[in-house]
Amino acid sequence: KKLIETKWYEMNRQECTRAIARHEVREIEQRHTMDGSRDSSLDESDDVIIIYNRVPKTASTSFTNIAYDLCVKNRFHVLHINTTKNNPVMSLQDQVRFVKNVTSWREMKPGFYHGHVAFLDFTKFGVKRKPIYINVIRDPIERLVSYYYFLRFGDDYRPGLRRRKQGDKKTFDECMSTGGPDCAAEKLWLQIPFFCGHSSECWNVGSRWALDQAKYNLVNEYLLVGVTEELEDFIMMLEAALPRFFRGATELYRTGKKSHLRKTTEKKPPTKESITKLQQSEIWKMENEFYEFALEQFQFVRAHAVREKDGELYLLAQNFFYEKIYPKIN
């Protein structure tokens, strides 16, 4: 009976959340209609969509909080993509709906969409203008350890929320010694499929094709991919590249309290034995190869965007200009 009541409560809570969201959307659309903005053409700087298909436990909430803090001041919308049971793979019909929503929902432009969803190639759907993809990834073992403890103890962002594995006091090392499923090498396989996308092969654990596709997408489909370990530099470069959204983000990250709010509680670093055991798996080798590839690409982009002076990073000024312009204007 208690289980039925819990499920009933959860279903009603989700329905209430959806109803509130629908009401908020209608209010925004009505406000835009009254302002006459529905019939006016969007300014080019406003006709922009950013998608942050965030990987779990990579400081994604810390970064997303910055967008929420800046959205009023910088005049853009922030929308959370809430998928059922956090399933990162959308059905084909949901893919079509999502692409149509994102590209034609004028009232939500400029927009910053974030959620735990796999990369989606908008060109397959015949859209004229693709969104800008960004992301952050993390050392694969550190990400897995953080997620392991998060499922059991949560974090300081919502400390009262009951987690899926709450009550299980077993440490990560104890899980490794007993061969538990939550610390298995297969659980490392996440960042590659998130970047690979919605193809079935992306989710085949240990697929070399998925790794190659993830690398291709990172370089060709993402404006910038940062790493958790160097999050401030990632934010600084986004502010320089996309000031329409991120003006003031670096200072906010350095001084704001919200940005540093989310920390997994009760997390214990794994022993060298546990780390070595994971590093012997082919899955770790592939996920680590992808992480190292992303880190090298990020550091390459950063090296051409900033200079260091007295221990501080400074963005480079514009380093190109136009000349020999013909025909000459009389």
* pLDDT tens readout for residues 257-290: 654 455 665 678 999 999 999 999 999 999 999 9
Confidence of residue 167 (pLDDT cuts 50, 70, 90): low
**pLDDT over 60 at 35, yes or no:** no
Phi/psi zone of residue 314: left (φ > 0), alpha (ψ -120 to 50 degrees), beta? Answer: beta
**pLDDT over 50 at 44, yes or no:** yes
Question: What are 172's two structure tokens?
Answer: 């990560």
Long-range contacts for 157-163 (Cβ within 8 Å, ≥24 apart)? Answer: 157/61, 157/261, 157/262, 159/265
Separation CA 252–CA 236 (nearest Å): 11
pLDDT, mean of residues 71-89: 96
The pLDDT, as a whole number, for residue 75 is 97
Provide the terminal-to-terminal Cα distance of the chain, rounded to the nearest Å.
Answer: 86
The pLDDT, as a whole number, for residue 268 is 87
Q: Regarding predicted confidence, which is higher, 73 or 8?
A: 73
**pLDDT over 90 at 26, yes or no:** no
The pLDDT, as a whole number, for residue 226 is 98
**pLDDT over 60 at 238, yes or no:** yes
| Residue whose tokens read 């692409």 | 99
Separation CA 143–CA 183 (nearest Å): 11
**Catalytic machinery residues:** 114, 116
Confidence of residue 245 (pLDDT cuts 50, 70, 90): very high
Helix (H, G, I), strand (E, B) or coil at 328: coil
Picking from 111, 147, 130, 115, the residue whose alpha carbon sits closest to that of residue 242 is 111
pLDDT, mean of residues 302-324: 88
- Show the CA angle centred on residue 282, arms to residues 225 and 287, nearest 5°: 10
**pLDDT over 80 at 219, yes or no:** yes
The pLDDT, as a whole number, for residue 38 is 45
Picking from 231, 200, 1, the residue whose alpha carbon sits closest to that of residue 92 is 200
Quick one: DSSP state of residue 229?
A: G
Confidence of residue 163 (pLDDT cuts 50, 70, 90): very low
pLDDT, mean of residues 21-43: 55
**pLDDT over 90 at 151, yes or no:** no
Confidence of residue 152 (pLDDT cuts 50, 70, 90): confident
Separation CA 56–CA 115 (nearest Å): 9
Helix (H, G, I), strand (E, B) or coil at 106: helix
**pLDDT over 80 at 37, yes or no:** no
Phi/psi zone of residue 162: left (φ > 0), alpha (ψ -120 to 50 degrees), beta? Answer: beta
